[in-house]
Amino acid sequence: MEMCHGSRQAITEWAEAGMESIYYVMCWACHRKCRHCYEERFRPYVRDELDAVVAEAKRNFPRILANFPADMTYLDREGCEPGGLPVRRGGRIVLSGGESLLDPVRTEITYPVIDALNAKYRGQGVRIVVQTTGDLLTRPIVEDLLARGVYMIAVASTDRFHVGIDTPERQAAFIDELSALFDACGLKPSMLSSGVGRKWDEETGPLYSFFGASEGSWIGKIWPRGRGWHNDLSTATLADNFCARWSGGMGFLDHRVDGSEVSVEPDGAVYPCCIKTALPLGSLLEDNLIDILDSLATEPAFQAINAGRPERMGLSYGWFEETFLERSRTVTPAGRPYENLCIGCDAFHREVLGPVIEAARQRRRHRPLVPAA
């Protein structure tokens, strides 16, 4: 990738940019319990349980959003201004669940979150994406989202794991029905394949898109997580480096420039990837996102994740690459031999990185205050 020749100076001396993308899981509640899901907590809740997860999300989101970057723009090193400085672009925030449009999540969390983000980032060109299974969409809901300036509605369910739309024929009918609704409401189909590349900002919204855990897709191998793991569905091998893909950990520390994304959960936990490491980096209920990232930026393990090379996480801690690869081998709950770098990453987090992450947290607690100008 050809970079702007002045980008390094711009990043260190000029830029006060935030990051390209945040994937914000707002609430655990979902109306489905898909067997491939990477998170056990995404499931139906009823009565008191539903009240509790909605209350958690509603209680936490103002504090979480307050600790999002003040500036949610980023520097695109593939686009150059006169003089060689990288182009500054508005970032993206993906709002997900669970099911972001489930009642009462939609009215008590999703809509207020969108409104709060619009207020926080007014004038910055930030694009809000709402991710949904799609089967709760109605014309009034689509119009509510458009009235709030949503850039894209991303339907994430076109695969064999979503009951009712689990065959190619049913998926085609589902896509046709929703596409007609979107078209009638003035949205345009995105021309980009979901999760491929980072040129999403070249399209003018409002847009819609469809994707799922289909064969050959970026998540088609199924992450070794949650119900997908317990149901023995992951077909990934050591050759499948989820870390080095978009929404993996690669580039997460390089906020301010293209390629930076993190995942945030309803309890404020921050992860370098949607797949989720065994331990979070920190909590947005305690600290600003940029402070969390900067406090870990010099740690060799996180630099390895940032480079998309998780097998090198342990080189400064006594774990050679051979050790990491050996710890990446296990058996599934069904007893099948399995190997993937995520397994080694989990082991390394649990056995080594807990004190490293806590030390960074304590440094944030005790950092000197900067006097007001």
pLDDT at 214: 81
**Boundaries of every domain in the chain:** 16-286, 301-365
The amino acid sitting at 10 is A
Task: Please provide the average confidence, as pLDDT, over all residues in the chain.
Answer: 91
How far apart, in whole angstroms, are the C-alpha atoms of residue 162 and residue 210? 13
pLDDT tens digits for range 127-139: 999 999 999 999 9
What's the average model confidence in pLDDT over 65-79?
A: 92
Please tell me which residue, 81 or 314, carries the higher pLDDT value. 314
What's the whole-model pTM score?
0.93
**Residue 218: predicted pLDDT:** 72
Binning pLDDT at 50, 70 and 90, where does residue 12 land?
low
Phi-psi region of 99 (alpha: psi -120 to 50; beta: other; left: phi over 0): beta
Among 18-27, 84-93, 344-353, which stretch is predicted with the lowest mean pLDDT? 84-93
What pLDDT does residue 213 have?
Answer: 84
242-252 pLDDT, tens digit each: 999 888 999 99
Per-residue model confidence (pLDDT) at position 369: 46
Provide, rounded to the nearest whole percent, the portion of the chain with pLDDT above 90.
81
At residue 370, the pLDDT reads 45
Whether residue 196 has pLDDT greater than 50: no
The phi-psi region of residue 280 (left if phi > 0; otherwise alpha if psi is between -120 and 50; otherwise beta) is beta
Query: DSSP 3-state assignment of 15?
Result: coil
Q: Does residue 173 surpass a pLDDT of 70?
A: yes
Predicted pLDDT of residue 194: 43
Is the Cβ–Cβ distance between 232 and 334 less than 8 Å? Answer: yes
Q: For residue 191, what pLDDT is reported? A: 84
| Residue 368, pLDDT above cutoff 80 | no
Does 177 or 14 have the greater pLDDT score? 177
Convert the pLDDT of each residue in 296-347 to its tens digit.
999 999 999 999 999 999 999 999 999 999 999 999 999 999 999 999 999 9
| Residue 180: band (very low, low, confident or very high) from pLDDT cuts 50, 70, 90 | very high
Residue 328, phi then psi, degrees to nearest 5? -85, 0
Residue 193 banded pLDDT, cuts 50, 70, 90: low
Any residues with CB less than 8 A from the CB of 162 and at least 6 apart, and which?
32, 34, 133, 212
What is the Cα–Cα distance from 366 to 373, expressed in whole angstroms? 21
Exposure b/e, 182-212, CB count within 10 A at least 16 = b: beebebeebeeebeeebebbebebbbbbbbb
Given the candidates 1.10.3470, 1.10.238, 3.20.20, 2.60.40, the CATH classification of the domain at 16-286 is 3.20.20
Amino acid at 249: G
Predicted pLDDT of residue 197: 46
Q: What is the pLDDT of residues 209-242, one digit of tens each?
A: 999 888 777 788 999 999 999 999 999 999 999 9
Summarize the confidence of residues 106-120 as an average pLDDT: 98
Query: Residues 266-276: pLDDT tens digits?
Result: 999 999 999 99
Averaged pLDDT, 75-82:
80
For 87, the token pair is 């182009």
